[in-house]
């Protein structure tokens, strides 16, 4: 394209040659300039009209603002309704958590009334106005405080249940010989060597040589030695002044100071010491006084801590315990 520019008297003229690219660039620049001018005029007119209250402009501005506020209010209401539904779900889950807490509190020795935060609620649904933001925030804050309280209470319950589990694992309720036949029981019997009445302070399990001897409960090995009467002997301390003794073993597999788990193999059946044949002599001692091991073994794995006191020094064993103490703590019969 060629443009010829002349003055008013046609005395001078100038020719401008525009290629296709230059023409496109010029058109874009002109369009952009017009756009900026239009935006500037639009903003100036609306701002000035809003400030000075021009009738037409003011009406248009109010319509735009009203529509914008309606959209914002609708968006906020939808979000509030969604949060309210979530809040209802959280409250329902909290109710389930309280019910669970009531069920397990008895196992932990916690008063169930401490779990309950408020009496039950119910009734027919009569819909009311939607929750406001302030009401929703207040309800959420209350639920947060209640959650913290329940967390603290569940922590206490967990601690007590864990303590009960540890205590039960430290009580000798595991049979020390899995497939052993019962021999001599706890109490008075005819001594196999002297033929006279004597106290048998434990329970005998008949089994083949090399049969595994298992720890009746978890604890720490306090004695591992060869005793003239007990032979190869192991004693395990379970805490609370409770000790189990395993005698006449052919081989011991642990040493003093070892930490033992319930059911762990600690020795093998034999006939060492004062023994007439292959067997395990198993004892339970509380504060150094022998107890009837069958009372513990019969309790099984579901032993509760409150039942432990009933197992210690039963009435029928009082005479045997007195005789044991009078003989200096080590009876002559096995």
CATH number, position 279 = 2.70.70.10
212 occurs within a structural domain = yes
Average pLDDT rounded to a whole number, residues 111-136: 58
Max avg pLDDT among 13-27, 39-53, 273-287, 293-307: 273-287
The reply to whether 197 and 81 lie within a common domain is no
Question: Is 259 or 168 the better-scoring residue by pLDDT?
Answer: 259
122 occurs within a structural domain = no
| C-alpha to C-alpha distance for 187 and 201, rounded to whole angstroms | 6
Residue 57's pLDDT is what? 57
152 occurs within a structural domain = yes
| C-alpha to C-alpha distance for 102 and 104, rounded to whole angstroms | 6
Contacts of 5 (CB under 8 A, 6+ apart): 13, 14, 15, 16
The reply to whether 151 and 237 lie within a common domain is no
The reply to whether 20 and 69 lie within a common domain is no
The reply to whether 163 and 291 lie within a common domain is no
What are the pLDDT digits (tens) for 226-276?
A: 999 999 999 999 988 899 999 999 999 999 999 999 999 999 999 999 999
126 occurs within a structural domain = no
38 occurs within a structural domain = yes
pLDDT tier at 158, thresholds 50, 70, 90: confident
Residue 212's pLDDT is what? 96
Question: Is 233 or 298 the better-scoring residue by pLDDT?
Answer: 233
> Lowest-confidence range among 2-16, 24-38, 268-282?
2-16
Residue 314's pLDDT is what? 46
123 occurs within a structural domain = no
Question: Is 200 or 43 the better-scoring residue by pLDDT?
Answer: 200
333 occurs within a structural domain = no
331 occurs within a structural domain = no
The reply to whether 29 and 68 lie within a common domain is no
Choosing from 26, 48, 70, the residue where a domain stops is 48
Reference 209, options 262, 280, 283; nearest CA is: 280
What are the pLDDT digits (tens) for 81-97?
A: 777 777 777 777 777 77
Residues 215 and 236 sit within 8 Å (Cβ to Cβ): yes
Is the model's pLDDT at 131 over the cut of 70?
no
Query: In which domain, by residue range, is 322 found?
Result: 181-326
The reply to whether 192 and 322 lie within a common domain is yes
The reply to whether 203 and 257 lie within a common domain is yes
Question: Is 154 or 262 the better-scoring residue by pLDDT?
Answer: 262
The reply to whether 70 and 135 lie within a common domain is yes
Residue 308's pLDDT is what? 42
Residue 265's pLDDT is what? 96
The reply to whether 275 and 231 lie within a common domain is yes
What are the pLDDT digits (tens) for 27-40?
A: 888 888 888 888 77
Is the model's pLDDT at 11 over the cut of 70?
no
Is the model's pLDDT at 107 over the cut of 60?
yes
The reply to whether 267 and 148 lie within a common domain is no
Based on the structure, what is the number of domains in the chain?
3
The reply to whether 92 and 23 lie within a common domain is no
The reply to whether 318 and 272 lie within a common domain is yes
Q: How much of the chain, in percent, has pLDDT values that exceed 90?
A: 28
């Amino acid at each position: 394209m060629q443009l010829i520019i002349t003055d008013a008297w046609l005395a001078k003229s100038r020719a401008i040659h525009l290629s296709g690219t230059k023409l496109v660039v010029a058109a874009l620049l002109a369009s952009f300039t017009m756009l900026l001018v239009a935006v500037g005029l639009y903003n100036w007119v609306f701002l000035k009209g809003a400030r000075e209250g021009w009738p037409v402009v003011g009406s248009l501005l109010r319509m735009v603002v009203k529509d914008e506020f309606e959209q914002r209010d609708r968006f906020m209401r939808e979000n509030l309704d969604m949060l309210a539904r979530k809040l209802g779900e959280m409250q329902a889950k909290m109710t389930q958590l309280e019910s669970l807490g009531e069920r397990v509190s008895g196992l932990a020795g916690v008063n169930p009334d401490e779990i309950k935060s408020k009496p039950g609620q119910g009734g027919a649904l009569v819909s009311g106005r939607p929750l406001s933001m302030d009401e929703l925030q207040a309800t959420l804050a209350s639920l947060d405080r209640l959650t913290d309280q329940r967390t603290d209470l569940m922590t206490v319950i967990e601690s007590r249940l864990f303590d009960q589990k540890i205590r039960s694992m430290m009580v000798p309720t595991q049979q020390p010989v899995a497939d052993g036949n019962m021999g001599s029981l706890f109490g008075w019997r005819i001594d196999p060597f002297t033929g006279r009445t004597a106290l048998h302070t434990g329970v005998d399990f008949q089994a083949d040589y090399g049969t595994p001897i298992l720890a009746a409960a978890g604890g720490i090995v306090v004695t591992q030695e060869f005793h003239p009467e007990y032979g190869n002997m192991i004693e395990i301390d379970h805490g609370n002044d409770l000790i189990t003794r395993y005698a006449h073993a052919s081989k011991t597999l642990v040493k003093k100071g070892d930490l033992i788990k319930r059911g762990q193999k600690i020795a093998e059946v034999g006939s060492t010491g004062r023994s007439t044949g292959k067997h395990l002599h198993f004892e339970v001692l509380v504060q150094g006084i022998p107890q009837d091991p069958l009372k513990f073994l019969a309790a099984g794995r579901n032993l509760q801590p409150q039942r432990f006191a009933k197992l210690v020094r039963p009435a029928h064993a009082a005479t045997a315990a007195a005789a044991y103490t009078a003989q200096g703590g080590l009876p002559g019969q096995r």
